[in-house]
Structure 1
Amino acid sequence: MKTIIMKNEERRVKNLFGRLLLSALVMASLAGCRKDLCYNHDEHALKVQADVDPEWMQEWENPYTGGEMQFDWEAIWKEQGWPREYDEFRPEIADGIRSIVYTEGAEPAVSNLENYGGLISMSEGVHALLFYNNDTEYIIFDNTDNSATATASTRTRTRGGYTAPQNHEDERTITPPDNLYASYVPAYLAEESLTPDGLPVTMFPRTYTYLIRYRITSGLQYVSQARGALAGMAERVYLNDGHTDATTATLLFDCKVDEKGCTAEVLCFGVPNFAYKTNEYTDDPEKMHFMLRLDVLLKNGKLLTFDRDISEPMRLQPRGGILVFDDIEISDEDGMEGAGGFDPSVDDWGDVIEVPLPID
C-alpha cells in the first residue's frame, strides 16, 4: 500500500513538473511571439518620416514695395468703386499636395498628400523637399527632376484672327493658369525615429489675379460679346522660390459684359524678371512693356479691337492688382452697320486651347 502511495506521489510530482515545464515553454513562446508582433511591427519600428503640416497663404495679389509710388489695393479698395469685397477674390486652398523628395545620387521620390498634409517617407540624411498643389487643370510642370529647374507654365491658347500688338509678336499666346501654390525646403535632415518629425510648410501663392475693368462710355448697347488679351506677362514661374525669368507670353481670356462695359479676373504668374523673396525686379523694369487689349463682337457681327499701353501701372503691380481701361467708345456707325443683322460667317470667335495627348 505504501509502495502504491509513493508511486502516485512520484507521478503527481512528475505531472506537476511537466505542467510547469510546459507553462514555461508556452510563456517563452508567447514572449518570443509578442516580440515579433510588437517590436518588429511597422507601427513601432524606427522609421524616417516627416509629418507635413501645411498652412495656405490665400493671397490674390502682393503689393510691390519698391519704386517711388506704392499701391495698396486693400486700403483703397472702396475708392475704386468696386462693388465686391477684397476677400471674395482670395483663392481657395487646393484639393491636394504633391511632394518631391530630392536626394543626392538618387531619383526624386514623388508622393501625394491631402490638403491637410500627411506623412512622407525618405532615407536618412539631408534632402531638399518641394511641395505644390496637384489639382491643376491647365498648368504644365516641367523639369521637376531638379528642384532648381522645376517650373510651372500653362497651355497654348490660340484665337482665330488674332494679331499680336506691336513689340509682342514673338510671344506665345497662352491660357490663364489655375491657382498654384508651392513651398520649398532646401535642406531637411531626416533621422530615424519612433514618431514622425513634424514639418510645418507654408504653401505660398505662385499665381496672382488681375481684376480688369473695361469701361465703355458709349455704344455699349451694340456689344454682344467681349474678350481680352494681356501681353508682356511671365510665361513661367519657378516653383522653388517663385521667381520669373525673362520669357514673356500673352494671356488670352474671356470677359463678362455688364452695365458699365466688361470685366475679367485674370490669373497669371506675374510679370517677368521678378524675384518673389526679395520683392524686386531682377532687370530694369523700364525695359518691360505691357499691352491690354479688348476685342468686342457687336450684335451686327462686326469685330472691334482696342489696345492700351499699361506699362506704368503693371510695373507698379508685378504680382496682381487692378487694371482699368476706360473711355472706350463704340460709334453708332459701327454699331448699326449692316442693319444690325448678325453675320453668321463670324465663326472664329471661340478660342482653342491645345491639350497635349499622351504618346505611347
Structure 2
Amino acid sequence: MKPLVKIVPPLRIIGVLLLALTGCRKELCYTHDEHSYSVKTHVKADWEQEWERTYYVDWEEVWREEWPREYDEFRPDPGTGIRALVYTDGKMSESNLEQEGGRLHMSEGTHTLLFYNNNTEYIVFDEVASSATATATTRTRTRSNFTTLHEGERTITPPDMLYGAFVREYTAEKTLEAVSLPVEMRPLTYSYLIRYRFASGQQYVAQARGALAGMAEKVYLQDGHTDGTSATLLFDCKVDEIGCTALLQSFGVPDYSYTDGYTTDQTNKSYVLSLEVQLKNGKKLDYTFDVSRMVQAQPRGGVIQVTDIVVSDEDGQEGGSGGFDVDVDGWGDQIDIPLPLG
C-alpha cells in the first residue's frame, strides 16, 4: 500500500478562497455603489421652528405673562419629509427625503438645489421648472355673502406650514466616503395671533370667523421674498369667555425681502381685519378694523389685537331664546380644490 500524500494548496489559492468567503475589500468592491467612486451627498436637515420674526416688536422678549398661552407653544412642528429639487444645465429632477434628510441622488457636476417640506395640504407650487421663479401660493376660498375688504383681491385659505432652503451652487464630486450637506429649513409661512376682545355682549356670541385683507398671495421659494400681489385670507375663530381668537398662518406682507425689508413705499398700503359673529339667536353681525399700522410693524408674523367690540342687548336678545343652528345656510366656506384631469 502506498503511503498517503498530504497535498498543501498554494498560498495564492488559499487567499482567493478566503476572499470569496469573507467578502470583498471596500476598495475593491467597485460594483457596489456604497463602496465605489460615486456622488454620495447626504443632506443633514435642521428645522428652524420660528412662528414670527422680529421687525418692530420683539414678542419673544416682551411676551405677556398674563396671556393664557406661552410664546413657545406657537412654534410650528418640523415637516415630516423633504422635497428636493436639483437643477442642472436647465433641467430639473426631484426626489423625496426623510425629515432628517438622507442621500440626495444626483450626477457629478455643479447643481442648484431647492428644498421644501412635502407634507402640505393646501399649498400650490408653481413655476418650479426654475429655482428663480418657483413660488408657493394657496387655494381659493369663497364665503357666501362676504363683503369684499379690498377690491379685486382673491380670497384664499391660509397656507400650511411651509419651510424652505436654497443652495445656489453645489459641486457634487465622486468620492468613496459620504459627504455631508447641512441644510437649514427656514419658515416661509408665519403666524399671526389674532385676538378680538369685547367691551360688552360677549355672552351672546356662538360662533365667529374673520378675514385679513392685503396680505401676500404667494412667496418665492428661493429666498422667501414676496411680490406686490395681495390676497384676503379667510379663517375661523375660536370663541371663549373673553373674546375670539385665531392663529392665522400666512406668507406675510407683500413687497418684502428678508435682506432689504420693504421693497416699495408703504405709506398708502392698507390692511383690513374683519370679524363676523353668529349670535346664539342666529343673528349675524359684521365688524371691520383698520390694522395697517399693526401689520406694517409685523411683516412676518406677530400679534394683532382689536378691542372694545360691542354686541348690544338689543341684538343679542332679538327673537327671544331661539337656539343657534350650527348648520345655518351660508355660514360654511368653500375651498377650491383642483382635480386632476385624466
Instruction: For residue 26 of structure 1, report the CA deviation from its aligned partner.
Output: 7.9
* Structure 2 equivalent of residue 88 of structure 1: 73
1:84 deviation in Å?
A: 1.2
Across the aligned residues of Structure 1 and Structure 2, the Cα RMSD in angstroms comes to: 2.4
Q: 1:42 aligns with which of 30, 33, 48?
A: 33
- Structure with the largest fraction of strand: 2
Spell out, residue by residue over 1:261-307, the C-alpha distance to the aligned partner (whole angstroms, 9 max, x if none).
Answer: 101100000000000233x1011122321000000111121111000
| CA gap 1:336/1:31 in 2 versus in 1, 3 angstroms | closer
User: Which of 126, 134, 158 does residue 176 from structure 1 map onto?
Assistant: 158
**8 Å CA contact retained: 1:242, 1:277:** no
CA distance in 2, matches of 1:125, 1:222: 66
**TM-score, structure 2 as length reference:** 0.92
Change over 3 Å in CA distance of 1:135–1:340 after alignment to 2: same
Match of 1:301 in 2: 282
Task: Tell me which protein shows more helix as a share of its residues.
Answer: 1
Contact 2:279 2:324 in 1 (8 A): no
> Quick one: distance in 1 between partners of 2:19 and 2:241?
81
128-137 vs 33-42, which deviates more?
A: 33-42
Aligned with 1:148 (options 121, 132, 143): 132
Paired residue for 2:93? 109
**What's the offset of the Cα at 1:235?**
0.4
Distance 1:149 1:270 in 2: 18
**Match of residue 110 from structure 2:** 126
**Residue 109 of structure 1, CA deviation:** 1.5
Counterpart residue number, 1:327: 308
Q: Shift of the alpha carbon at 1:320? A: 0.4
Provide the C-alpha distance between the structure 2 equivalents of 1:260 and 1:342, rounded to a whole number of angstroms: 22
Which of residues 88, 100, 120 in structure 1 aligns to 2:85? 100
Paired with 1:128 and 1:251, the residues of 2 have a C-alpha distance of 33
Q: Paired residue for 2:145, among 138, 161, 166?
A: 161
- Higher Rg of the two aligned structures: 1
Partner letter of residue 119 of structure 1?
Answer: R
1:313 paired with 2:301, answer no
Task: Return the offset for 1:55.
Answer: 1.1
1:287 paired residue number = 268
Alignment of 1:198-217 (within 5 A): 198-217=180-199
Deviation string 1:38-63 (CA, Å, 9 cap, x unpaired) is 23222211111311111111100001
Measure the CA separation in 2 of the matches of 1:43 and 1:309: 60
Following the alignment from structure 1 to structure 2, what is the Cα–Cα distance between the partners of residues 28 and 197? 33
Which stretches of structure 1, 4 residues or longer, exceed 4 Å deviation after superposition?
23-37, 342-345
- CA distance in structure 1 between the aligned counterparts of 2:259 and 2:113, rounded to whole angstroms: 18
Cα distance in structure 1, aligned partners of 2:180 and 2:213: 43
Distance 1:296 1:161, change over 3 A: same
Gaps of 5+ in 1: 65-69
**Match among 331, 335, 341 for residue 349 of structure 1:** 331
> What's the offset of the Cα at 1:126?
0.9
| Contact 2:203-2:241 within 8 A present in 1 as well | no
Deviations along 1:181-216, one digit per CA (max 9) or x if unpaired, are 000000001111011211011111001000011011
Question: Per the alignment, in what secondary structure is the counterpart of residue 203 of structure 2?
Answer: helix
Unmatched segments (≥5 aa) in structure 2: none
C-alpha distance in 1 between matches for 2:238 and 2:24: 68
CA distance, structure 1, for counterparts of residue 41 and residue 286 of structure 2: 54
Aligned twin of 1:339: 320
Residue 62 of structure 2 aligns to a residue whose secondary structure is coil
Q: Check conservation: 1:59, 1:91, Cα contact below 8 A.
A: yes
Deviation of 1:82 (Å): 1.6
Contact 2:208 2:238 in 1 (8 A): yes
What letter is aligned with 2:313? D
- Checking the alignment, whether the CA contact within 8 Å between 1:293 and 1:305 is kept in structure 2 is yes
User: 1-side partners of 2:183 and 2:116: how far apart?
Assistant: 11
**Residues in 2 aligned to 1:292 and 1:314: alpha-carbon distance in whole angstroms:** 10
Cross-structure match for 1:138: 122
Q: 2-side partners of 1:34 and 1:115: how far apart?
A: 33
Q: How many residues align?
A: 338
Equivalent AA in structure 1 for residue 81 of structure 2: G
SS of corresponding position for 1:136: coil
Amino acid at match of 2:100: Y
The residue that corresponds to 1:67 in the other structure is none
* Distance change in 2, residues 1:24/1:260 (3 Å): closer
Superposed displacement of residue 31, structure 1: 6.6
- What CA distance in whole angstroms lies between the structure 1 residues aligned with 2:12 and 2:196? 89
SS of the equivalent of 1:78 reads coil
Percent identity of the aligned residues?
55
Give the Cα–Cα distance (whole angstroms) in 1 for the partners of residues 53 and 76 of structure 2: 13
What is the alpha-carbon distance in structure 2 between the residues aligned to residue 230 and residue 175 of structure 1? 11
**Cα distance, 1:223 vs. partner?**
1.0
SS of the residue corresponding to residue 185 of structure 1 reads strand
More displaced stretch, 197-206 vs 328-337: 328-337
